[in-house]
Amino acid sequence: MSGPIEDYALIGDTQTAALVGRDGSIDWLCLPRFDSGACFAALLGRPEHGRWKLAPSCPGQVTATRRYRPDSLVLETEYTTPEGVVRVLDCMPPRDRTPDVVRVVQGIRGRVSMSMQLIVRFDYGSVVPWVTRETGELRAVAGPDALSLFTPVAVHGHHLTSVADFTVSEGQSVPFVLRWHPSHEPAPPPLDGLEAVEDTVAWWKEWFSHCTYQGAWPEAVRTSLMTLKALTYAPTGGIVAAATTSLPERLGGMRNWDYRFCWLRDATFTLYALTLGGFREEAEAWRSWLMRSVAGDPAKLQIMYGVGGERRLTERTLPWLPGYGASKPVRTGNAAVDQFQLDVYGEVMDALHQAHRIGLRDDPRAWDVALVLMDFLESGWRNPDAGMWEVRGDLQHFTYSKVMAWVAFDRAVKAVQRHGMQGPAEHWMKVRDLIHQEICQNAYDPDRGCFTQAYGTKSLDASLLLLPLVGFVSPRDPRMVGTVRAIEQELLEDGLVRRYHTHETDDGLPPGEGRFLACSFWLADNYVLQGRRDEAVALFEHLLSLRNDVGLLAEEYDPVSRRQLGNFPQAFSHVGLINTAFNLERHQGPAVHRRENHIGAAEQPPASP
């Protein structure tokens, strides 16, 4: 079985990414895109499903420490052995034409024995390539894929594995460069490994020069911004939810999904995180990706798209892979793409509104798309849906979904009133107020003094924490104060917030999962808005303590086993970290901005029922 999820670090070239284990093994890499088939899939199986290990030969006597080079996605792992000390540099240079993985072994002290094991298995571990060797190059070919390894070290085959043993002395550097190319094209020329590392460091440092964060948690925020950039698909501007598929939300369970796609739900939060961090170019590229992807029939708006805007993301299972920690099935594609989720209409409208508010350059197509979406919502807002958690049980009238329908009409009204757009603002205002009234009547439990997960239920849901963050209700409204209190009492366990109780909510799956980390960031945001700053800081710093040694967060965390769970690294977790850090800087944060601009249907806190 692969190591703990938190034992992995990320390297990437802003088109795909690899996970490097603390033991020196790259156990996950999809080429040439995030959503391509994996050539290293040991993360979801065993070494024979593909990996690339480069480490000292005496693993039982080795200690490893690692870090990213300052302000770069170049990973340094330092191994201390009885023979001496060696450092391995890992990176993926932002590509010119082909994706590359560069690994450089540097001797620091003494003379250290090293070993390399390269197991290439295309199509998620199912295809064994044909391997040939020429001077200085090893080439693996199968179907449309080809990989070439360039290194001065002698490599030989052993049981369908390419292996090498060598030693590194103090001051010596030994490069390994793995280059992918379509198998029908000539192999790319060799790449200078040392030069590629330095070029990669320089590229990231130039990118980081635009960072504007000056707050109390610079390392955490900068690492999270770097992670968002690494999860960006540079050619289109799309941002994948995570670099992986099928890392489980419960070990041994079946809550295993493919997150290598772009979710509309992340749009507004991501725009804020990027622009507040100083990265307007990425925010504009993301907005442009959004507009291209959602164009078309609004009744067929999807909750997610491929990195290029692809719509067909058919879910299938890979039975030959045993799954991470025996968590099956392993899936590619995502059937939730076919769900109706009402909230994404509000997310798109809010993203367009926030783009105006934060001064992104106008997209002349954006308002035309918005008008078509609003036409659909005239009746569409009344329909039940699968909710933001993409339940695979019965459709319901989820509170957060209805709130985001309210957001759509609210932002449409403001687009006319504040930005001079053309549209029936008075009519939209009436619909907005009608939705607000219905939610307050059907989703508020006066006996408990809190909002509930859906109409007609008593269950709680962490998505209710977003109500003041989108401006639906004042954070100090007694109903919202009561909702936060109820969530603290019923969903806050072991210092972290559950999404909901899986034994109460019919989500179509067996109960049990970790704590969805974004929910705890939302609680910290509510503390900020309610003036509970000390509690907000304490919760935020607790969340920071859950990051791994290089600052990365997965989707969830299990406080019992003290392990990260779910796909990794998770963009939504890092977006939550960035936004909460800015919220804690008092008047700089997105929660404050959105609250001040969008309180209630009539620009004031709604009256109690």
Residue bearing the bigger pLDDT, 524 or 357: 524
Please compute the mean of the pLDDT values over residues 323-338 and round it to a whole number.
Answer: 93
Please compute the mean of the pLDDT values over residues 142-152 and round it to a whole number.
Answer: 96
Vertex 389, ends 593 and 531: CA angle to 5°?
A: 30
Q: What is the pLDDT of residue 301?
A: 86
Vertex 516, ends 534 and 343: CA angle to 5°?
A: 100
Sign of CA dihedral 263, 223, 530, 485: positive
Question: HSE-up of 195 (CA within 13 Å, CB side)?
Answer: 3
Residue bearing the bigger pLDDT, 287 or 299: 287
Counting Cβ atoms within 10 Å, is residue 173 exposed (0-12), middle (13-18) or buried (19+)?
middle
Instruction: Report helix, strand or coil for 59.
Output: helix
Distance (Å, whole) CA 314 – CA 103: 35
Binned at pLDDT 50, 70 and 90, residue 394 comes out as confident
Residue bearing the bigger pLDDT, 202 or 604: 202
- Give the tokens for residue 241: 């939810």
Please compute the mean of the pLDDT values over residues 38-61 and round it to a whole number.
Answer: 94
Q: What is the pLDDT of residue 609?
A: 30
Please compute the mean of the pLDDT values over residues 395-413 and round it to a whole number.
Answer: 96
Distance (Å, whole) CA 274 – CA 263: 16
Q: What is the pLDDT of residue 599?
A: 47
Asked if 245 and 257 count as a contact pair (C-beta separation under 8 A), the reply is: yes
Please compute the mean of the pLDDT values over residues 534-542 and round it to a whole number.
Answer: 97
> With 90 as the cut, is the pLDDT of residue 159 above it?
no
> With 80 as the cut, is the pLDDT of residue 276 above it?
yes
Q: Is there a cis peptide before residue 609, judged by omega within 30 degrees of 0?
A: no
Give residue-wise pLDDT tens across range 483-496.
999 999 999 999 99
Q: Are strands 8-12 and 492-493 parallel, antiparallel or unpaired?
A: unpaired
Binned at pLDDT 50, 70 and 90, residue 269 comes out as confident
> With 50 as the cut, is the pLDDT of residue 600 above it?
no
Q: Rounded to whole angstroms, what are the CA distances from 422 to 287, 408, 413, 516, 602?
A: 21, 15, 10, 40, 20
What is the overall mean pLDDT for the chain? 91
Task: Give the phi and the psi of residue 516 in degrees, each rounded to 5.
Answer: -70, 115
> With 60 as the cut, is the pLDDT of residue 596 above it?
no
Listed in sequence order, the residues at least 6 apart from 396 whose beta carbon sits closer than 8 Å to its beta carbon are: 384, 385, 387, 454, 455, 457
Binned at pLDDT 50, 70 and 90, residue 564 comes out as very high
DSSP state of 280: H
> With 90 as the cut, is the pLDDT of residue 242 above it?
yes
Distance (Å, whole) CA 184 – CA 528: 57
> With 90 as the cut, is the pLDDT of residue 78 above it?
yes
Distance (Å, whole) CA 101 – CA 88: 13
Please compute the mean of the pLDDT values over residues 557-563 and round it to a whole number.
Answer: 93
Q: What is the pLDDT of residue 606?
A: 34
Binned at pLDDT 50, 70 and 90, residue 362 comes out as confident
Please compute the mean of the pLDDT values over residues 144-169 and round it to a whole number.
Answer: 94
Instruction: Report helix, strand or coil for 434.
Output: helix
Asked if 31 and 18 count as a contact pair (C-beta separation under 8 A), the reply is: no
Range of weakest confidence among 155-169, 206-220, 262-276, 539-553: 262-276
Q: What is the pLDDT of residue 506?
A: 61
Give residue-wise pLDDT tens across range 87-98.
999 999 998 789
Asked if 168 and 106 count as a contact pair (C-beta separation under 8 A), the reply is: yes
> With 50 as the cut, is the pLDDT of residue 604 above it?
no
Asked if 85 and 110 count as a contact pair (C-beta separation under 8 A), the reply is: yes
Total number of residues shown for the chain? 609
Range of weakest confidence among 72-86, 207-221, 529-543, 578-592: 578-592
DSSP 174-203: EEEEEEEEETTSPPPPP--HHHHHHHHHHH
Please compute the mean of the pLDDT values over residues 515-541 and round it to a whole number.
Answer: 96
Please compute the mean of the pLDDT values over residues 425-448 and round it to a whole number.
Answer: 97
Q: What is the pLDDT of residue 315?
A: 95
Q: What is the pLDDT of residue 238?
A: 93
Q: What is the pLDDT of residue 608?
A: 33
Distance (Å, whole) CA 305 – CA 31: 19
Q: What is the pLDDT of residue 97?
A: 84
Q: What is the pLDDT of residue 205?
A: 97
Which of 104-108, 371-375, 598-602 holds the top average pLDDT? 104-108
Asked if 17 and 9 count as a contact pair (C-beta separation under 8 A), the reply is: no
- pTM confidence score: 0.94
Q: What is the pLDDT of residue 43?
A: 97
Listed in sequence order, the residues at least 6 apart from 570 whose beta carbon sits closer than 8 Å to its beta carbon are: 241, 242, 259, 517, 553, 554, 555
Question: 306-334 b/e with 16+ CB inside 10 Å = b?
Answer: bbebbeebeeeebeebbbbbebbebbbbb
Counting Cβ atoms within 10 Å, is residue 50 exposed (0-12), middle (13-18) or buried (19+)?
buried
Asked if 501 and 452 count as a contact pair (C-beta separation under 8 A), the reply is: no
Give residue-wise pLDDT tens across range 165-179.
999 999 999 999 999
Please compute the mean of the pLDDT values over residues 455-473 and round it to a whole number.
Answer: 95
Q: What is the pLDDT of residue 504?
A: 67
Listed in sequence order, the residues at least 6 apart from 183 whose beta carbon sits closer than 8 Å to its beta carbon are: 141, 142, 143, 144, 145, 146
Encoded amino acid at 525, one letter: D
- Give the tokens for residue 96: 């010119």
Which of 248-262, 319-333, 358-372 holds the top average pLDDT? 319-333
